[in-house]
Structure 1
Amino acid sequence: MKNIVKLGLVFSVLAAGSAVASNDYTLGPRPLFLVADMDEGELKSKLEKCLDDKPKKSDFSIGHRGAALMFPEHTKESYMAAAKMGAGVLECDVTFTKDKELVCRHSQNDLHTTTDVLSHPDLAAKCSVPFTPANPEKGEKARVECRTTDFTLAEFKRLKGKMDGANPMATTPEAYMAGTPGWRTDLYASRGTLMTHAESIELFKALDVKMTPELKSAAVEMPYDGLTQQDYAQKMIEEYKEAGVKPSHVFVQSFNLDDVKYWISAEPKFGEQAVFLDARMYKNKLWEPTLADMKALKRAGVEFIAPPLFALVTLSSEGEIVPSEYAKMAKEADLDMIAWTLERSGPLGNGGGWYYQSVKDATNNDGDIFNLLDVLAQDVGVVGVFSDWPATTTFYANCVGL
């Protein structure tokens, strides 16, 4: 019951606008709910004994866009909630505005689904693709695309973050923005403070957490107004230097291997913890991992590799979740592995969807999250897991001593 009683604490902190680090973490009722939903077994018995333990911060627990399951992603409120749940590492996805200022957004062209931009007529008119209503009779979806590069930083800061989602068959901007998935909530979306990258750094310092910025691919052609890809990658590093952040507290990441190699070469102290986000297994359906490729990454100076959850696990002939060949090869090549993204699939009764595709026959109830997490930690050997609700990952990490 202690965990349930503490649930209100995080929201009172958010309401007060406090950004001060605290050792008084709270996990709320979700770990209790998930453990209760597990099938009987040794792992469930072990986790049950930890339900009333005092939570501690863990670097194993990475706040994916903050706590995006219930808070608008990449907002101050989302980051603070994730830190209060004991996430030891927080993520700012980094992109840039029209005046080349770095800001926290998952994509350069997602403002129409993650902010209230369409409620500002003067700003909505500047979108790369202004809102065009859907035509339900013809089966035509609404069209709109709003990029950070459509706006100056001052204009960007007028926006408010909202839960990511849209109604593609909407005939009005208001209806289009009202598309939050049913398994999420708008209950904590009344405020959604957008942040620059530099502001996120100062917040994370105050929260006493490590940082994992992801350099996002540009939706505009590069170079952009004289800004080259390497300028962009370097600009992100410079903001950590200017803020006096130790390189050991930063895990820079990118899906672009050239970005990672650039940091390894040009900024070796930051490059030591550069993370290669691996999308090859779903961008190319014919791609297969090889040990030679994993070893080549290691020789190039890559120390961390981060694929989606499904790439690291598979099912045994007995139907048990076990490490995949990809995971075995990465381990043999001495690459540290990070997995993404837990708590981003809604209820698991349908097998868990995209993130669970390689083990869907073993994930038929929400408690199976912990079975997957246990294999990732104990058998695959991941060093961290991104989660949209870090309380789940923090609880597990605390209980097993990670």
Structure 2
Amino acid sequence: MRLTTALTALALAPTALLADAHSTPVPVEYGARPAYLVDKLPDGDLKDKLASCMGQTASKSDFSIGHRGAPLMFPEHTVQSNVAAARQGAGILECDVTFTADHELVCRHAQNDLHTTTNILVSDLAEKCTTGFTAAAGEEGASAECRTSDITLAEFRTLTPKMDSADATATTAEDYQGGVASFRTQLYSDGADLMTHAESIELFKSLGAKFTPELKSPSVEMPHDGFSQEDYAQKMIDEYKAAGIPASDVWAQSFNLDDVLYWIKAEPEFGKQAVYLVEWSEGFDEQDPSTWTQDFAQLKEQGVQYLAPSLNMLLTNKDGALAASDYAKKASEAGLNLIAWTLERSGPLSTGGGWYFQSVGDIITDDSDYLVALDVLAQDAGVKGVFSDWPATVTYYANCMGL
């Protein structure tokens, strides 16, 4: 089997990986980054506490969630990216779920991202893309759109994954493959393996991790060739049931509240941990309830237990310091379990942290603010878990703080 071959080649642990890896967890190592971030912290209680844990034994934590694996350095949603995340102690791993032309479920961040996350534009499948490559001309940047629904599962398996990127100045499809962000690397891209959703379940189980699949919004009109939104939502859950995964190990996510409510009604055991994802939108003020589009009491009445807002919704500037937002506090007071996304996706923070930190960009100074933000999320906002593009940082913090 393709996935089994990939696992064997990776040599996940010094000893052979047992079939029931929940009793044989992958060894966890922090690597250099957490200590690097601690060193950058200004003197104070947080630095003292985190520095005191430098010699601790690393262990897996469910507070640490791998966002597409560990895509700061590995191609997202690949076997290798998720193995790296598990080695960094992520207790929960993510497969963003979308579907192919023959309605098979695969791991991709979006149904229409194949042109930036794989080699499809320089493969024999380029002609099947929704919109082929268009070269940059004048003020118009290069463009393309290739969807998983443009190809079958068999064709999907022939693609080679790469770091998510595109060179908007490209005049050829080959040059369009570039544009990798300067804070990422291509050192670990060679030989990476794509995954179906079912294969991700097999892999994550073998790594001793739990599961947080996200049902992605289709780029095609639904129903698609008779495949309805409910069929899509149900098929994702069915693949966990077929693999014998207990519902208590699965946090199914969606930005579509109707998906979450469907799981609550149709699959109540899985619905107990269904996660409603929300993000910053224009006009939102994390301190002004009149700008909030979520009614926390209503969500609870509908059976929603988990709410996952973007970082910018949970953080605010309080007298020149990072603090938990009123949005975060009110959601928690309403009894919603909060999950935060996504730490370490912004690259170096010396310029304010971009979209994820836009509510506090004026007080973000350097990369040590990743740890300050993490501390605020955990201690003040009371989040139950944090997605990260480099899970070792969250794992180190969780281990040190006893989370």
- TM-score normalized by the length of structure 1: 0.93
Structure-2 separation of matches of 1:14 and 1:282? 43
**CA contact 1:14–1:77 (8 Å) conserved in 2:** no
What amino acid is the match of 2:11? A
**CA contact 1:63–1:91 (8 Å) conserved in 2:** yes
Number of the residue aligned with 1:3: none
Structure-2 separation of matches of 1:221 and 1:125? 21
Matching of residue 396 in structure 1 with residue 391 in structure 2: no
In the TM superposition, what are the counterparts of 1:247-266 in structure 2 within 5 Å?
Answer: 247-266=247-266
In the TM superposition, what are the counterparts of 1:42-53 in structure 2 within 5 Å?
Answer: 42-53=45-56
Matching of residue 16 in structure 1 with residue 21 in structure 2: no
Structure 1 residue 361: Cα displacement: 2.4
Structure-2 separation of matches of 1:118 and 1:292? 40
- For structure 1, the residue ranges without an aligned partner over 5 or more in a row are 1-11
Q: What's the CA shift string for 1:123-161, capped at 9, x where partnerless?
A: 0111110112111xx222112110001110010000111
Number of the residue aligned with 1:363: 364
Number of the residue aligned with 2:324: 323
Structure-2 separation of matches of 1:291 and 1:215? 21
- For structure 2, the residue ranges without an aligned partner over 5 or more in a row are 1-6
Specify whether residues 165 and 14 from structure 1 end up closer, same or farther in structure 2 by C-alpha distance, changes over 3 A only.
farther
Structure 1 residue 15: Cα displacement: 4.0
Number of the residue aligned with 1:241: 241
In the TM superposition, what are the counterparts of 1:169-208 in structure 2 within 5 Å?
Answer: 169-208=169-208
In the TM superposition, what are the counterparts of 1:3-402 in structure 2 within 5 Å?
Answer: 15-16=10-11, 20=17, 21=21, 22-120=25-123, 122-135=124-137, 138-279=138-279, 281-282=280-281, 285=284, 288=290, 293-316=295-318, 318-402=319-403
Structure 1 residue 13: Cα displacement: 8.9
- TM-score normalized by the length of structure 2: 0.93
Specify whether residues 219 and 290 from structure 1 end up closer, same or farther in structure 2 by C-alpha distance, changes over 3 A only.
closer
**CA contact 2:12–2:83 (8 Å) conserved in 1:** no
Paired-residue identity, %: 58
What amino acid is the match of 1:300? Q
SS at match of 2:235: helix
SS at match of 2:63: strand
Hey, which of these two has a bigger chunk of helix by percent? Answer: 1
**CA contact 1:251–1:274 (8 Å) conserved in 2:** yes
Specify whether residues 291 and 357 from structure 1 end up closer, same or farther in structure 2 by C-alpha distance, changes over 3 A only.
closer
Q: How big is the alpha-carbon RMSD for the aligned residues of Structure 1 and Structure 2?
A: 1.8
What amino acid is the match of 2:191? R
Q: What's the CA shift string for 1:244-303, capped at 9, x where partnerless?
A: 000000000000000000000000000000000012x31665884569811100110000
Structure 1 residue 97: Cα displacement: 0.2
Structure 1 residue 17: Cα displacement: 6.2
**CA contact 1:83–1:209 (8 Å) conserved in 2:** yes
SS at match of 1:350: coil
Specify whether residues 396 and 292 from structure 1 end up closer, same or farther in structure 2 by C-alpha distance, changes over 3 A only.
closer
**CA contact 1:291–1:330 (8 Å) conserved in 2:** no
Structure-2 separation of matches of 1:376 and 1:292? 19
**CA contact 2:342–2:386 (8 Å) conserved in 1:** yes
SS at match of 2:350: helix
What amino acid is the match of 1:92? C
Structure 1 residue 313: Cα displacement: 1.3
Structure 1 residue 219: Cα displacement: 0.3
SS at match of 1:103: strand
